[in-house]
Structure 1
Amino acid sequence: MTSSDPTDTADPTVRVVPTGPTEPRADLRFYLQEARDALLWKLEGLSEYDIRRPMTPTGTNLLGLVKHCAGIELGYLGDTFARPSGEPLPWLDDGADLNADMWATAEESRAYVVDLYRRAWAHADATIDALPLDTIGRVPWWPSDRNEVTLHHAVVRVTADTHRHVGQADIVRELLDGSAGMSVSNTSLPTGDPAWWEKYRNRLEEAAKEADRDT
């Protein structure tokens, strides 16, 4: 029997891109899952130190991005539609440190954060499957006079937010060890040859210097 879900494949590293007419819910699920998988892929092969290292002046780090995205899914695709997960998220409680959801403490293991994110996926997906896309929810942390959203809007919002953070993870991972690429099954890069990339980067550097001299 053939599955109607375009994300359902025998090999989890191979994802079938929806083509032709598709059901909106399947499209939403596909692109959200694509972002989730890519974000976790960016952790693979790195030490505990490297997945936690603050790589920008504002502290952007890989495991913190995963922790943040878990809370986003549980909030927008759980609490917003009166479907609380029951997961304790103390870093989002009143009185928690600013930005506490953007980094993992030494006590919060990689396995804990990744498992939390996967449980958040399952909870969010159950919401997407259970409710019509035009279902109205209320975002608890938005002002009460303008906190209504449809499920469709919430899924698009979470997908956009997750892809934004995957973009950050792309840069952080490349800064850490030079690894780059869109996903495990499709790097979306023209070549994997380090010598080509060094020549390419040098060409860009020279073009930038030339443009600066001409101003």
Structure 2
Amino acid sequence: MPGQVGPIADEQEGLLAYLAQMRYVIRLTAYGLTDEQLRSAASASPLTVGGLIKHCASTEESWMATVRGERRPVDYGAYEADFALAEGETIDDVLARYDAVAAATEKTVKDLANLDHEVPVDKSVPWNPKDVDNWTLRWVLLHLIQETARHAGHADIIRESVDGGTAYPLMAAAEGWPETAWLKPWRKA
């Protein structure tokens, strides 16, 4: 996937393309890392590259369940667990789940084919407004883009702290871009 989203034909295609791009860049933060590095909290917070990718998959899955009307109670214990790879859980497990979540998101959006589809606001959590009854599917997709981009930034910082890898050199390595005078693909130390 290129470093930029390509031309888009309509709003739905654009929202899905930008969400796919953000999924891709957060996935890139795991490129070439060992299991130990994926679990490394290399900054002042307990966040890890593997845990952030897992959290993004869980968050997207939860939002799409809400869009489809599959109400789930908020489980704060599960929420905390989403930020860490479980014992025996691999990045391949997490990425496969994220792929399935992404496919389900795209199917849900295309099946609904209505960005104004109403999504009820969960008023049981303190971060949602009490004076709004419904989001729209459009709002949910924008929120997922925002959430994934925010965590991709966190993962970028953690990744750079782990081994110096940064976004475009990682992308160049993952995609086999040729080395240039101004961009050298990341290489494992």
Pair 1:105-2:86 in alignment: yes
Q: Which of 101, 105, 108 in structure 2 is aligned with 1:120?
A: 101
In the alignment, which residue of structure 2 is the partner of 1:191? 182
Report the equivalent of 1:51. 38
Name the CA shift for 1:127/1:139 in 2 (closer, same or farther; >3 Å). farther
Runs of 4+ in 1 over 6 A off after TM superposition: none
Q: Which whole-Å CA distance do the structure 1 matches of 2:15 and 2:27 have between them? A: 19
- TM-score w.r.t. the length of structure 1 is 0.69
1:55–1:139 distance in 2 versus 1, CA, 3 Å? farther
Cα distance change of structure 1 residues 155 and 124 upon mapping to structure 2, 3 Å threshold? same
Structure 2: where are the runs of 5+ without partners? Answer: 185-189
Q: 2:115 aligns with which of 128, 133, 141?
A: 133
Q: Match for 1:154 among 116, 140, 145?
A: 140
Q: Which amino acid aligns with 2:118?
A: I
- Residue in 2 aligned with 1:35? 22
Q: CA RMSD in A?
A: 3.0
1:125-157, Cα deviation, whole Å (9 max, x unpaired): 111111100000124454676351100000000
Superposition deviation, residue 41 in structure 1: 1.4
1:15, CA displacement in angstroms? Answer: 6.7
Gaps in structure 1 of 5+ consecutive residues: 1-12, 194-215
Larger radius of gyration: 1
Query: Per chain length, whose mean CA-contact separation is higher, i.e. which structure has more relative contact order (CA < 8 Å, sep 6+)?
Result: 2
The residue type paired with residue 191 of structure 1 is: W
Q: Distance in 2 between matches of 1:118 and 1:106?
A: 21
2:56 to 69, 83, 86: 69
Matched residue SS, 2:77: coil
